[in-house]
């Protein structure tokens, strides 16, 4: 079966067998028992364990499985159903543990299409592969995607690093780019606990070469985290975890309950004709 992926060494077409991905030039990549493949070239691996670690993945998995970000997942599936062409190829660029990927892959399958997911973190991709047995999952870098030019119809990037030039390369003309970023007051109540003078996220519409804007869709939800574990799981999956003063982290650790606003923006862009 021809894979959605391309060889990270030579760029050739990959054929997927039961145990390996193999290209015509003889490069081969073993399929792990969980069902994913490692397509991260050694020269792009800047540490022994790149990407999010097991602890962070576990925290994010627990939090997402609580359903707190469910409205965002529902909106992404709705947009794909409404805007994608027939039999689309979806790439989840920065798929993480696959919580969003799983739902989007189901939507794409119903449209007769196929799904691929790529993330830098091996522990995350392991979980994603278990969640999404019908999708192709790979460890890889977003800055050197193992996919051919113009092979994706829809690319989703949800709270992951932006590689606009590379995303434009793998999207075909007219292809959709769904870019999820936090709204101005995303997790505001959490920030009020952590910081003495919290500030809003910048709201901006940035033009990217090769893309044109179609819309920006707001998604907002309010939820109450009922236990310390839920609060700490949310905290540990945010950038604030690494740059919060000790006093703020201690204030948060004392809380047993926290009501939080989830505020998202889904930027909808279209790949311009080459």
- pLDDT tens for the chain, 274 residues: list them: 899 999 999 999 999 999 999 999 999 999 999 999 999 987 665 555 566 788 889 999 999 999 999 999 999 999 999 999 999 999 999 999 999 999 999 999 999 999 999 999 999 999 999 999 999 999 999 999 999 999 999 999 999 999 999 999 999 999 999 999 999 999 999 999 999 999 999 998 998 999 999 999 999 999 999 999 999 999 999 989 988 999 999 999 999 999 999 999 999 999 997 6
Are 92 and 116 contacting, i.e. CB atoms less than 8 angstroms apart?
yes
The packing angle between helices 228-236 and 246-253, to 10°, is 150
Cα(157)–Cα(94) distance, integer angstroms: 6
Q: Tokens 């392991």 appear where?
A: 126
- For the entire predicted model, the pTM comes to 0.95
């Amino acid at each position: 079966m021809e894979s959605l992926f391309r060889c990270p060494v030579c760029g050739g077409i990959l054929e997927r067998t039961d145990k390996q991905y193999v290209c015509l030039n003889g490069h081969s990549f073993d399929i792990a028992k969980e069902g994913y493949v490692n397509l991260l070239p050694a020269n792009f691996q800047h540490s022994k364990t790149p990407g999010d670690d097991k602890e962070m993945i576990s925290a994010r998995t627990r939090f997402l499985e609580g359903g707190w970000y469910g409205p965002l997942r529902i909106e992404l599936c709705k947009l794909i159903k409404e805007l994608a062409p027939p039999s689309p190829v979806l790439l989840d660029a920065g798929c993480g543990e696959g919580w969003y990927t799983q739902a989007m892959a189901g939507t794409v399958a119903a449209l007769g299409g196929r799904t691929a997911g790529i993330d830098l973190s091996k522990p995350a991709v392991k979980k994603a592969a278990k969640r999404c047995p019908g999708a192709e999952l790979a460890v890889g870098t977003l800055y050197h995607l193992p996919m051919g030019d113009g092979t994706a119809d829809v690319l989703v990037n949800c709270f992951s690093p932006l590689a606009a030039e590379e995303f434009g390369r793998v999207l075909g003309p007219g292809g959709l780019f769904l870019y999820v970023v936090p709204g101005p007051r995303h997790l505001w109540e959490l920030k009020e606990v952590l910081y003495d003078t919290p500030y809003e996220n910048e709201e901006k519409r940035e033009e990217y070469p090769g893309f044109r804007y179609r819309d920006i869709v707001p998604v907002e939800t309010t939820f109450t985290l009922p236990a310390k574990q839920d609060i700490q799981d949310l905290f540990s999956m945010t950038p604030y975890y690494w740059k919060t003063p000790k006093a703020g982290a201690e204030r948060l650790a004392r809380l047993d309950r926290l009501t939080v606003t989830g505020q998202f923006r889904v930027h909808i862009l279209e790949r311009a004709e080459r």
